[in-house]
Amino acid sequence: MKLQFFKLTLLISLSLTFTFFAQAQTAREEGLALYNQGKDREAIKLLKSALKNNKNDAEVLNNLGMAYLNVGNFKEARKSLEKAVEVAPQNSAIRSNLAYVYLFDRKADKSQAELETAIELDPDNANAYYIRATLNLWKSDYERAIFDADKVIQINQGLTDAYLLKAEALIYIFGREWGDEKEPVKSFNTFAKKIFEKLR
């Protein structure tokens, strides 16, 4: 009788464990799918639920952080992405996402440090170069912004935002140079030629 009771208890326990695991997996998969569909608020609920089963799931933490960022909750975005970096320190994409959150949070030094690490881990991380170009533009370091925008274009020509960022940096340089010129019209024509050559 005791053996049958033990078997029944074990069977119920295994069944409940399997059900809990299956629900957690479903929450994870559905949460990731919702995030990829741009349904951030719905994704947040399911991704938080999935973390109850595995609090060290770097992919879930990363997507949760980006979903929080998309809804404007920078504090939770930062916390999720910092945890994701802690769990997966060699993941360049996660580090560049954290750098992006730091940029929004106006933590330029922290953003710069994460970007340097992200690029060191993956020299072909176009996203990291794009974020660094944006950071350099904000810091009025237009030449470096152009260098990084060129790196993005070299890696991924389809990332049109890099062309816009480069053009913006060139316009700032033009404004600076034009302000120093005695003949602005002549300067504009010369500078316009330079811009078109650099954008090719």
The DSSP result for the chain, as a single string, is -HHHHHHHHHHHHHHHHHHHHHHHHHHHHHHHHHHHTT-HHHHHHHHHHHHHH-TT-HHHHHHHHHHHHHTT-HHHHHHHHHHHHHH-TT-HHHHHHHHHHHHHTT-HHHHHHHHHHHHHH-TT-HHHHHHHHHHHHHTT-HHHHHHHHHHHHHH-TT-HHHHHHHHHHHHHHHHHHHHH-S-HHHHHHHHHHHHHHHH-
70-84, 121-135, 174-188: lowest mean pLDDT where? 174-188
- C-alpha–C-alpha distance, residues 55 and 194, integer Å: 52
Percent of the chain exceeding pLDDT 70 equals 76
* pTM for the structure as a whole: 0.77
pLDDT at 171: 86
pLDDT at 174: 79
Query: What is the chain's mean pLDDT, rounded?
Result: 83
109-118, 154-163, 184-193: lowest mean pLDDT where? 184-193
Q: pLDDT tens digits for 136-149?
A: 999 999 999 999 99
Q: pLDDT tens digits for 35-72?
A: 889 999 998 999 999 999 899 999 999 999 999 999 99
pLDDT value at 22 more than 60: no
Which residues have a Cβ under 8 Å from the Cβ of 37 and sit 6 or more positions away? none
- C-alpha–C-alpha distance, residues 131 and 136, integer Å: 9
Instruction: Please state the rounded mean pLDDT for residues 119-140.
Output: 96
Q: pLDDT tens digits for 101-112?
A: 999 889 999 999
